[in-house]
Structure 1
Amino acid sequence: MAAPKALTAWARKTDEAREEWARQAVDGWARTARFSQPFSWAEAEAAVLARSYPPLPGRFLLNAVGAMAMGLLALAALPLLGASVLGLVLVALASRQETGAEGLLWLARIAFAAAILVVGTALSVWWQTRRRSVGGVALAAATAVASLATYVLLLVLDLPVMPWLSVLVLGAAILGLANLVLELTSRPEGRAKSRKPPRRGPRSSDKRHRASVARDRLLDVLIHRRLVDVDEGDRIRLREMPLGYWSELDGLDQREWRRVLEYRHVGWREFDENDNQVR
């Protein structure tokens, strides 16, 4: 229990330090800066992007912790993504064992239960997107082929009876084949990706993060100065707008303003290379 508490305390201190950094980096000019009337979102964001900011406190440690977490997550995900292949290997090894085959088959049963969970999750993702992805095709193909091969081994080899193993293997094979057919008959996901707003602002991820934190603080100051009138929901949406795209909000009526904010993650119009303004 001590480790989670220490991690929570460290995260809280990091957030507090970041808020203090934002106040010191932004408040000095944002509280007195003159903004044109009617208010221009493009002008306000351009002022943020034009400034230079000191490094965020704890940024290096935060990056290191994030990289370690991603690495551990990837290591934990590998057995799940290759569960059906692992199950096939376990069944093949069991066929060569004179003793201990039951233990390997018991592990294979767990592996194929995990394979069903993984491919079922992939099916739910496809149901939401209805798009073909390379990862989805690879996962479905691996699950289907490995499960079918395992089912054949169970039929032709003289292996100890393991309750539910054949059912789990056959279930994984059916779900894998269904997922593979749906993936291959769907449109590729590239079309959906092209609707995402191209990157704008600084090229460096660290500079982008600093600019994003500074923009969040500027929004708080603008609301405090009553230069903009937005509710809490729109404040969150404005924070989530892609960096460099506040300009899209200028000159819109209420209906179009709402549409842009609602579709801020997936694109509210067709974008092309001319929208890419990475510096």
Structure 2
Amino acid sequence: MGLPKPIADWARKVDQAEREWGRVAVDGWARTATFAQPLRWGEAEAAVLERDYPPLPGSIVTRLVGIVGWAVVALLAVPVFGAAVAGFVLVAIGVDRDGVSDWFSLAAFAFGIAVVGVLTFLSMWWRTRRRSLMVLVYNAVTALASAAAIAVLATANASTEGSWLPVLTITAAVLAAVSLVLGLFSKPEGRNKSRKPPRRGPRSADKRARALKARKRLLEILIHRRLVDLDEADRIRLDEMPLGYWSELDGVPDRERRRILEMRHVGWRDFT
């Protein structure tokens, strides 16, 4: 089943615009440039990085979409990660006000979200058996806020008859405390999961995007000029290598070159 026609048409136009950008920005020099034989990948990539390129087609739109996306994520993350704190605040306000059942209903909803959040992190821990600082902080805040809400309810002698608030609050407190203890006694996230090669090339995200597009177009031209002989799988691997790391392919045996290409996403060495 293909994409809806409007989306497919838009994707086709973007692809055509990027190809035209490549012809204007890269082809002018790449089709006539002299490259060492056998090709030195580091020199070829350096030729890309030393040039400045015009903005990518649709770069402003892409940037706006990215900003909107991060804003949506933030709007969703704040109530989820702060659910237990919001629940405690609602309990603290509600015990001294009229319409206490309405306040407690909102608090119960907040603690329900907190329970779901803790269960989600517990399932992640069950799969990895590793802790992360974000999860530890979340569980500590949830446990403290839930315990504080329980203390407020106990000292205020507020009626919670028919409400899920006590059950959800206690559940959030217990689960968060258990999850926190499990995390503290687990191993921290290992380097194998978080290791990435140090960043090379431009620092600006926009300039990096242009350089990656230009490098991809250069690779197509090198293949077209028959300066390199690559199958489709290796072409994709080279295109996916981190920016600035083509030079690692120079002066190494074929076996090491193969390992570098196959380990391109996480690094093929212990970067220090």
Q: Same fold (TM over 0.5)?
A: yes
Correspondence list, 1:1-279, <5 A: 13-99=13-99, 101-126=100-125, 132-156=131-155, 157-189=157-189, 195-226=195-226, 227-232=228-233, 234-253=234-253, 255-272=255-272
Task: Give the TM-score taking structure 1 as reference length.
Answer: 0.79
TM-score, normalization: structure 2?
0.80
Deviations 1:74-102 (A, max 9, x none): 12211111011111112222322332x22
Matched letter for residue 261 of structure 1: L
AA of the residue aligned to 1:228: D
Deviates more, 1:80-89 or 1:251-260: 251-260
Distance 1:125 1:222 in 2: 44
Pair 179,238 (structure 1): closer, same or farther in 2 beyond 3 Å: farther
Partner SS state of residue 69, structure 1: helix
Deviates more, 1:193-202 or 1:85-94: 193-202
Residues 160 and 166, structure 2, Cα contact 8 Å, conserved in 1: no
Residues 39 and 228 of structure 1 are in contact (CA less than 8 Å); yes or no, is this contact kept in structure 2? no
User: 1:32 and 1:200, CA in 2 relative to 1: closer, same or farther beyond 3 A?
Assistant: same
1:105–1:162 CA contact under 8 A, matched in 2: no
Residues 172-225 of structure 1 show CA distances to partners (whole Å, capped at 9, x for unaligned) of 223322332233334555956883211111233322221111112222333444
| Aligned position for 1:276 | none
Aligned 8 A contact 1:102 1:162 in 2: no
Q: Does structure 1 retain, via aligned residues, the 8 Å contact 2:114–2:142?
A: yes
- The change in CA–CA distance for 1:128 and 1:222 in structure 2 (over 3 A counts) is farther
The whole-number CA distance in structure 1 between the counterparts of 2:260 and 2:11 is 32
CA distance in 1, matches of 2:139, 2:126: 14
* 1:244, distance to aligned residue in structure 2 (A): 0.1
Asked if structure 2 preserves the Cα contact closer than 8 Å seen for 1:106 and 1:162, the reply is: no
Q: Out of 187-196 and 117-126, give the one that drifted further.
A: 187-196
Counterpart of 1:202, as a letter, is P
CA-to-aligned-CA distance 1:237-268 (integer Å, 9 cap, x gap): 33332110112223445554444334333322
Contact 2:105 2:163 in 1 (8 A): no
Q: Are 1:95 and 1:159, in contact at CA under 8 Å, matched by a contact in 2?
A: no
Aligned residues: 267
Q: Give the root-mean-square deviation of aligned CA atoms.
A: 3.2
Q: CA deviation at 1:143?
A: 0.9
* Unaligned residue ranges in structure 2 (runs of 5+): none
Give the 3 Å change call, closer, same or farther, for CA 123–214 of structure 1 in structure 2.
Answer: farther
- Does the 8 A contact of 1:113 with 1:168 survive in 2? yes
What percentage of residue pairs aligned between the two structures are identical? 55
Q: What is the rounded CA distance, in whole Å, between the counterparts of 1:102 and 1:255 in structure 2?
A: 70
How far, CA to CA, are the matches of 1:214 and 1:204 in structure 2? 15
